[in-house]
A and B are shown apart, each in its own frame.
Chain A
Amino acid sequence: MPGFNREKVQATGAAVADAPAKRKLCIIASKGSLDMAYPPLILGNAARAAGIEVHIFFTFWGLDIITRKKNSNLHVATVGNPNMHPWFHIPTFMGGIPGMSDMATAMMRSEIGKLDVPPVAEFLDMLHDAGAHIYACLMTVDMMKLKKEDMVDYAEILDANQFIEISEGAQIIFV
């Protein structure tokens, strides 16, 4: 019968308050549709829950996820999106009908809510509380004519070089 393995605790350093985090994950979030906003948030959150250091760089349309006026109102595209099942399939020629994207968006929000997954803005706050680092891409901020105060207040603006420096030695996920 295997008892509690004390060597294993020392070997992994798990849960020791001052043990340095060993793994480091950098996520680049480049898409801002409702469906593409979740993968970086969910993966980042799962990594923090496993004690991994997390840095998320929001760039191009991904910047909407950390922009206050937009992140509670992300949408699902219904034109040219062949993946609308399991609810129903929206043929491309119908996807452009006014209200179609709103309807699909509302439906996806409701399904996500049923799984007890928080809305994007709340999820982002949760990630910040969990200790993930949140960055806004400087070039995108300039291109979209945004200011620091347009973003969640814990977002730090970085240029590509700074992010590359931070990501040294990290595993990287591009979304």
Chain B
Amino acid sequence: MMSAVDTSILDSLEFDDQNFLVNATDWTPAVGEAIAAELGIVLGERHWVVLNFCRKEWEEHGESPTIRRITKGADVGTKELYDLFPGGPGKIAAQIAGLKKPTGCV
């Protein structure tokens, strides 16, 4: 996809077959910007509230937060979260944050 952000930073990193970063420690905010750009999302301040929360959850608990955890912990409403990350907020936020897909039913 054509975008204004230079995404060549992604070429030197390892991704799984669903385009999730293999090593969460390879992630930097610039990597996040690049993944988002590839997915067609321009990151704004509210995106970063969610992404920083996801990174913090991963650092503290070693796993990606579910949508429910994000809405409870990051002060972002369900509707807003779906608007920020269209097409599946839990999965896509985790992907941009360089984490694995969240697991859990809610």
Closest to B34 in A: A4
In angstroms, Cα B101 to Cα A28, docked, is 28
Query: Contact flags (1/0) for B7-23 with A, using CB distance below 8 Å?
Result: 10011111111110000
Q: Is B106 engaged at the interface, CB distance under 8 Å to the other chain?
A: yes
Q: Which residues of A contact B (CB under 8 A)?
A: 1-6, 8-10, 14-17, 19, 21, 42, 45-46, 48-51, 115-118, 126, 129-131
Chain A residues within an 8 Å CB radius of B95: 15
Q: How far is the CA of A22 from the CA of B37 in the complex (A)?
A: 21
Q: Which residues of A contact B87 (CB under 8 A)?
A: 14-17, 19, 21, 51
* Known pairs A49-B67, A129-B77, A129-B82; A16 contacts B39 (CB<8 A): yes
| Chain A residues in 8 Å Cβ range of B91 | 49-51
Task: Give the residues in chain A near B10, CB-CB below 8 Å.
Answer: 3-4
One of A9, A14, A126 near B78 (C-beta < 8 A) = A126
Chain A residues within an 8 Å CB radius of B16: 2
CB neighbours of B77 from chain A (8 A): 129
Within 8 Å by CB of B88, from A2, A15, A17, lies: A15
Q: Which residue of A lies closest to B15 (CB)?
A: A4
**Is there an interface contact between A5 and B15, defined as CB atoms closer than 8 Å?**
yes
Say whether B17 contacts A2, CB under 8 Å. yes
Q: Which residues of A contact B11 (CB under 8 A)?
A: 3-4
Chain A residue, CB-CB nearest to B85: A15
User: When the two chains form their complex, are residues A42 and B106 in contact, meaning their CB atoms are under 8 A apart?
Assistant: yes
In the complex, which residue of chain A has the Cβ closest to the Cβ of B10? Answer: A4
Known contacts A9-B1, A19-B87, A49-B88, A14 near B15 by CB under 8 Å = no
